[in-house]
């Protein structure tokens, strides 16, 4: 009977808004324990404290879920920054290598087995070759006339 008197005092304090969190935990423990023989007039309190206990449990699960999701989001955000930094570093490295490599001359000519990269020499040799091929007279067709005869 002593326990029921204590619970009655706690209920009065609870309804007046004067209970501490430890006293409220004691009330929740008393009303959510299925082994207690609760008087009929206190059954509404049992529903109230059971509801409060379930809500707190749900809030705890929700808070844990939120913490887990925040941690995952933080990790993926951090991973994105790492990928971006690695990509930027690779681009800078490629640019530095391309700038520092010696340039090769793309324009060259092979004349008599020798490679010439000097533009002036190549142009002069090309003009000489064109002059050797070209002709000023009608000799081109003289060979055909000789073949017909």
Q: What is the mean pLDDT of residues 13-34?
A: 80
What are the Cα distances from residue 129, in Å, to 114, 117, 126, 137? 16, 17, 5, 18
- The verdict on residue 92 lying in a domain is no
Give the per-residue pLDDT at 94. 93
Neighbours of 87 (CB within 10 A): 10
Give the per-residue pLDDT at 122. 82
- The verdict on residue 95 lying in a domain is no
- The verdict on residue 46 lying in a domain is yes
- The verdict on residue 89 lying in a domain is no
Q: What is the mean pLDDT of residues 120-146?
A: 73
For 93-106, what is each residue's pLDDT tens digit?
999 998 888 776 66
CA-wise closest residue to 30 among 8, 7, 13: 7
Give phi and psi for 116, each to the nearest 5. Answer: -115, 130
- The verdict on residue 38 lying in a domain is yes
Q: How many structural domains are present in the chain?
A: 2
Of 50, 66, 82, at which residue does a domain stop? Answer: 66
- The verdict on residue 85 lying in a domain is no
- Identify which has the larger pLDDT, 70 or 124: 124
| DSSP code string of 67-88 | HHHHHHHHHHHHHHHHHHHHHH
pLDDT > 70? residue 53: yes
Neighbours of 31 (CB within 10 A): 22
Give the per-residue pLDDT at 86. 94
Given a contact cutoff of 8 angstroms between Cβ atoms, the answer to whether 30 and 8 are in contact is no
Instruction: Give the structural domain span for 135.
Output: 109-148
Query: What's the token pair of residue 137?
Result: 């007279």
For 69-95, what is each residue's pLDDT tens digit?
555 656 667 788 899 999 999 999 999
Give the per-residue pLDDT at 100. 84
pLDDT > 60? residue 56: yes
Give the per-residue pLDDT at 88. 95
User: Own/partner pairs for 6-11, CB < 8 Å, 24+ apart?
Assistant: 7/42, 11/42, 11/45
- The verdict on residue 90 lying in a domain is no
pLDDT > 60? residue 62: no
Query: Residue 32: which residues within 8 A CB-CB, separation 6 or more?
Result: 46, 49, 50, 53
Q: What is the mean pLDDT of residues 3-15?
A: 82
- Identify which has the larger pLDDT, 146 or 84: 84
């Amino acid at each position: 009977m002593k326990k029921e008197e204590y619970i009655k005092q706690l209920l009065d304090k609870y309804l007046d808004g004067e209970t501490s969190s430890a006293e409220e935990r004691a009330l929740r423990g008393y009303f959510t324990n299925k082994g207690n023989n609760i008087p009929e007039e206190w059954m509404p309190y049992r529903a109230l404290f059971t509801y409060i206990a379930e809500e707190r449990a749900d809030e705890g699960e929700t808070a844990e879920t939120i913490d887990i999701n925040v941690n995952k989001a933080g990790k993926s955000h951090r991973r994105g920054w790492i990928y971006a930094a690695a990509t930027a570093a690779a681009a800078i490295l490629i640019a530095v290598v391309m700038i520092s490599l010696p340039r090769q001359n793309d324009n060259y000519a092979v004349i008599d087995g020798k490679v010439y990269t000097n533009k002036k020499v190549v142009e002069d040799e090309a003009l000489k070759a064109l002059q050797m091929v070209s002709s000023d007279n009608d000799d081109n067709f003289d060979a055909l006339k000789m073949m017909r005869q």
